[in-house]
Structure 1
Amino acid sequence: MNIQRECKDRFVSLLSNYPSSNRTVSDSLWNEIETRYSEPHRAYHNLNHLYQMLGEFETVKAKLEDSEMVLFALYYHDLVYDPKSKTNEEESAKIAEKRLLELGIRKERVSVCSNHILATKSHRLGDNSNTDTKYFLDMDLSILGSEENQYLEYTKNIRNEYSIYSDEDYRKGRSQVLDHFSETIRLFQTDYFFDQYEMRSRYNVKSEIHSLQKR
């Protein structure tokens, strides 16, 4: 399995739906994505993350109102990723908007894609929020519901991405994130992902909290 090839082929296939895209354009756009997601400081938010989300996307694609904007959001949502920055989502959304407008996609659809990306900043939505956004956020969080070995690998990779912080600072910051998850009534906002991953995710989150408390 070549994850890079799988991610690229799916992206190029998406671009083929837009007349303004050609080989030069698709190569340029993909090279930007591949370069960003291959940055050396990325241990989790890399092409493996995109590939994992693509698998989840395929399971719910038929349920989405505008699957193409969800797919674009998937590729661009972590384009900018600096553990020290508080504006990663805004910067990623801004680049996505620029690239999609250059493809000739209507502003209304581009805004939908941008909103998907911006929603990953807090993972909080109201009841009347776009259903596609809920599916997208659930895809992004689906790693929480992975089996034990995969979840442990995920936690190690997240720690590596935040290696600039001391163990104590990381423990405090990560605990805040996990506490937020544990206090949320539902981690997953769609019934599909709730049924698939909610129970396992809560177990994993609780286990990680306990692990951090022992340090």
Structure 2
Amino acid sequence: MADTEALRVRFARALQGARGGTQGPDPAPYADNLLARWQEPQRHYHTLTHLTAVLDHIDELEAYADDPDVVRLAAWFHDAVYLPERSENEERSARLAERALSEAGVPDDRTAEVARLVRLTVTHDPADDDRNGQVLCDADLAILGSPPSAYAHYTAAVREEYHFVPAGAFREGRAAVLRQLLDLPRLFRTPYGQEHWEATARYNIRGELEMLSLPVPPPT
């Protein structure tokens, strides 16, 4: 179970860092709005547990980022709008970040960078010189390099979020996403991610693809 009070503190620190130390509105209402979003009932994987994991991975990777607090804020917003049946979640999340962070006293250039990073999670394909993007994408994809039991829990939670999609269509769509990931020259762009997560992630993805290719059992 995620510690919401600890998350409020982490949000306040990131917001203050992104403000550059200047004062602004109380962070609490912004944190509470985001926490409520991350606890919506349609979520099974994109929950506070996922948010906490992404923030923890950013802490591991922060030496590779140009602006770690901006990356942390991007993590908070990257799935803030999440409706599994909709395709524009990242864009709507980015626009939410633009409105909220501007109001919360974050300078325009940093607000724009948060929104850019949120939009980058559509492809998880940052440029070679995009240090902030590499850290956010690696942190978001780190679940792919987790131990098999955690990976199995992740795939089950994703399936639950898409419970309204028929089995055959889900398998086809999920397999396409996984193949797109495998086609990337590197899943992880930071040296840490490449060393610690890349090989395991590719093993997990190939295993899931094999499972998706098995015949669908008939209904009982």
* Fold shared, TM-score > 0.5 on shorter chain: yes
Measure how far apart 1:18 and its partner are: 4.5
- For residues 149-207 of structure 1, the C-alpha deviation after alignment (integer angstroms, 9 at most, x for no partner) is 10000000000000010111100110000111122211111221111100000000000
TM-score (norm 1): 0.93
Measure how far apart 1:84 and its partner are: 1.2
Q: Does 1:20 align with 2:24?
A: yes
- For residues 9-52 of structure 1, the C-alpha deviation after alignment (integer angstroms, 9 at most, x for no partner) is 21123334441132xxx221112111111011100001000111
Distance 1:18 1:212 in 2: 51
How many residue pairs are counted as aligned between the two chains?
Answer: 211
Q: Which position in structure 1 is the counterpart of 2:156?
A: 156
Query: RMSD across aligned C-alpha pairs, in angstroms?
Result: 1.4
Q: Does 1:92 align with 2:93?
A: yes
Distance 1:62 1:127 in 2: 16
Distance 2:87 2:68 in 1: 28
- After the TM superposition, which residues 45-60 of structure 1 pair with which residues of structure 2 at under 5 Å, given as runs? 45-60=46-61
Q: Does structure 2 conserve the Cα–Cα contact (< 8 Å) formed by 1:3 and 1:48?
A: no
Distance 1:7 1:18 in 2: 21
Given the superposition, is the C-alpha separation of residues 2 and 163 from structure 1 closer, same or farther in structure 2, using an over 3 Å criterion? closer
Q: Which position in structure 1 is the counterpart of 2:209?
A: 209
**Percent identity between the aligned chains?**
31
Paired AA for residue 43 in structure 2? R
Q: Which position in structure 2 is the counterpart of 1:174?
A: 174
TM-score (norm 2): 0.91
Measure how far apart 1:2 and its partner are: 4.7
Q: Does structure 2 conserve the Cα–Cα contact (< 8 Å) formed by 1:53 and 1:74?
A: yes
Paired AA for residue 21 in structure 1? P
Distance 2:54 2:122 in 1: 17
Segment of structure 1 superposing worse, 115-124 or 104-113: 104-113
Q: Secondary structure at the match of 1:36?
A: helix
Question: Structure 1: which 5+ runs fail to align?
Answer: none
Paired AA for residue 115 in structure 1? R
